[in-house]
């Protein structure tokens, strides 16, 4: 009898622990995946090649308006933003591609390369939207009500930039980070529940540069690394203490690529022929030195992925695709067989989405661009700039007014 009672108690405790751990798990989605590195690590069993006509199109939603913000998937919904008649809207689609709801959040960019820019960030039931005019808005997904709103350009002496702010917001714990680009309030952390200021730093005083930051956990400190107009900067993520900067400039101050981190090393890169390099940090977040620089590694805004010790991405002035050795910066191959564009990765393969609308499945290979399958995105409008997303075996591609869902599993 005592044994049965003990067994029941153990089972009861196990169930309680399971429920507790499940309730604490966050629903979380941000630009370029959970880790911000463009690699969708939980996706397995994906197709190793596509049919000749391309992967099956499950559905298409047309009606987003203008913009190139990427999809963000959480709470069994697909979130993105779009612009109609100068007004920006937050869209929430059901997983079958039907509209669940949309909310007008304010004006969006109508000057050049029109439309919405930043990708929504979702943590549990809270959705964070950043407009091209500096408006940070928090919505409750359950009620579709606005929780708070802050214009960081107006309230924190920020300066808007040539093509409108494009940074996607990142969250760590109770902090939401954004870069107003002011002299005093260069990068700030807001309380993500209230919008109130937690810390601010003047850093180098550069204006912002379209870049989404990266939060890096080092052995002795957690730091925020981002690219401003003229420098890569490192800031203590807990306190806002400005730690270091490294000069990196280009003609139009477009530094749109999130840095890539691995093993105390940070790789930064941007377009217009200005290339990228690697910085070595110590365990406390101090910048020790630049370890290499590669001029041709100059993606403007397509990102790159790190796979098995090599970086893969396309250039801007150097328009081809390439592989670069993570440890040395040596270029392993260079080819113009595919138009320049965006790259993400999952299940050991790369997904390349070019500015010409080409969509290619590519096997990582340091000797050549090994294209396995290729198709063309036939739906949508305007620029092919949004970064695709993979979730539960489905590849989501945003092209202007459309999202296309491809079955890739």
Beta sheet of 146-151, edge-to-edge order: 28-29, 121-123, 126-130, 135-140, 146-151
Residue 18 lies in a domain: no
Q: What percent of the chain has pLDDT over 70?
A: 94
The number of distinct structural domains making up the chain is: 1
Provide the residue range defining the domain that includes 395.
29-407
Rounding to the nearest 10 degrees, give the CA dihedral for residues 292, 343, 341, 81: -120
Taking the C-alpha atoms of residue 372 and residue 64, their distance in angstroms, rounded to an integer, is 31
Judge residue 7's burial from the number of C-beta atoms within 10 Å of its C-beta, 0-12 exposed, 13-18 middle, 19 or more buried.
exposed
Residue 190 lies in a domain: yes
pLDDT digits (tens, 9 = 90+) for 158-185: 999 999 999 999 999 999 999 999 999 9
CA angle 188, 191, 197 (to 5 degrees): 45
At residue 27 the predicted structure's pLDDT band, cuts being 50, 70 and 90, is confident
pLDDT digits (tens, 9 = 90+) for 8-21: 444 444 433 443 33
Residue 388 lies in a domain: yes
Which CATH number covers residue 56? 2.130.10.10
CB 192 within 8 A of CB 138: yes
Residue 370 lies in a domain: yes
| Main-chain dihedrals φ then ψ at residue 12, nearest 5 degrees | -60, -45
Taking the C-alpha atoms of residue 232 and residue 369, their distance in angstroms, rounded to an integer, is 30
Taking the C-alpha atoms of residue 244 and residue 7, their distance in angstroms, rounded to an integer, is 56
pLDDT digits (tens, 9 = 90+) for 59-95: 999 999 999 999 999 999 999 999 999 999 999 999 9
In 10 A of CB 329, how many CB atoms? 20
105 CB-near residues (< 8 Å, 6+ apart): 81, 88, 89, 90, 129, 131, 135, 137, 139
**pTM, two decimal places:** 0.93
Residue 15 lies in a domain: no
Q: Give a three-class secondary structure readout of the chain.
A: CHHHHHHHHHHHHHHHHHHHHHHHCCCEECCCCCCCCCECCCCCCCCCCCCCCCCEEEEEEECCCEECCCCEEECCEEEEEEEECCEEEEEEEECCCCEEEEEEEEECECCCCCEECCCCEEECCEEEEECCCCEEEEEECCCCCEEEEEEHHHHCCCCCCCCCCCCCCEEECCEEEECCCCCCCCEEEEECCCCCEEEEECCCCCCCCCCCCEEEECCCCEEEEEECCCEEEEEECCCCCEEEEEECCCCCCCCCCCCEEECCEEEEECCCCCCEEEEEECCCCCEEEEEEEECCCCCCCCCCEEECCEEEEECCCCCCEEEEECCCCCEEEEECCCCCEEEEEECCEEEEEECCCEEEEEECCCCCCEEEEEEECCCCCCCCCCCCEEECCEEEEEECCEEEEEECC
pLDDT digits (tens, 9 = 90+) for 209-235: 999 999 999 999 999 999 999 999 999
CB 279 within 8 A of CB 287: yes
Taking the C-alpha atoms of residue 29 and residue 127, their distance in angstroms, rounded to an integer, is 9
CB 198 within 8 A of CB 156: no
Residue 26's pLDDT is 61
Residue 15's pLDDT is 37
Residue 19 lies in a domain: no
In 10 A of CB 45, how many CB atoms? 9
Adjacent-strand bridge partners of 130: 136
pLDDT digits (tens, 9 = 90+) for 298-314: 999 999 999 999 999 99
| pLDDT surpasses 70 at 7 | no
Residue 20 lies in a domain: no
Residue 400 lies in a domain: yes
pLDDT digits (tens, 9 = 90+) for 195-204: 999 999 999 9
């Amino acid at each position: 009898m005592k044994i049965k009672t003990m067994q029941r108690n153990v089972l009861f405790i196990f169930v309680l622990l399971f429920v507790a751990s499940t309730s604490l798990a966050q629903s979380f989605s941000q630009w370029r995946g959970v880790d911000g590195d463009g690699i969708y690590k939980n996706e397995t069993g994906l197709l190793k090649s596509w049919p000749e006509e391309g992967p099956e199109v499950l559905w298409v939603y047309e009606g987003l308006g203008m913009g190139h913000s990427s999809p963000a998937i959480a709470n069994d919904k697909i979130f993105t933003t779009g612009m109609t008649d100068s007004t920006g809207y937050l869209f929430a689609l059901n997983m079958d591609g039907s509209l669940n709801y949309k909310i007008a959040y304010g004006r969006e960019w109508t000057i050049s390369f029109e439309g919405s820019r930043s990708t929504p960030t979702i943590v549990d039931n809270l959705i964070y939207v950043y407009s091209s005019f500096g408006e940070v808005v928090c919505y409750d997904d359950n009620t579709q009500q606005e929780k708070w709103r802050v214009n960081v350009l107006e309230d924190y002496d920020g300066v808007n930039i040539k093509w409108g702010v494009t940074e996607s917001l990142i969250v760590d714990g109770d902090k939401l980070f954004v870069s107003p680009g002011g002299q005093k309030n260069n990068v700030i952390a807001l309380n993500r529940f209230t919008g109130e200021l937690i810390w601010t730093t003047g850093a180098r005083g550069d204006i912002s540069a379209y870049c989404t930051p990266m939060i890096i956990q080092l052995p002795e400190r957690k730091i925020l690394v981002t690219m401003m107009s003229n420098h890569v900067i490192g800031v203590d993520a807990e306190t806002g203490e400005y730690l270091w900067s490294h000069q990196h400039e280009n003609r139009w101050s477009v530094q749109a690529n999130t840095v890539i981190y691995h093993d105390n090393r940070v790789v930064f890169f941007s377009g217009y022929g200005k290339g990228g390099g690697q910085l070595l940090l110590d365990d406390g977040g101090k910048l020790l030195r630049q370890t290499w620089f590669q001029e041709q590694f100059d993606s403007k805004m397509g990102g790159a992925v790190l796979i098995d010790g090599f970086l893969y991405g396309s250039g801007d002035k150097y328009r081809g695709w390439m592989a670069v050795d993570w440890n040395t910066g040596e270029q392993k191959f260079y080819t113009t067989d595919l138009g320049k564009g965006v790259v993400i990765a999952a299940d050991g393969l790369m997904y390349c989405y070019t500015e010409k609308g080409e969509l290619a499945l590519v096997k990582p290979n340091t000797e050549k661009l090994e294209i396995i399958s290729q198709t063309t995105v036939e739906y949508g409008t305007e620029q092919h700039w949004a970064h695709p997303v993979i979730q539960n075996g489905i590849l989501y591609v945003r092209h202007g007014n459309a999202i296309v869902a491809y079955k890739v599993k």
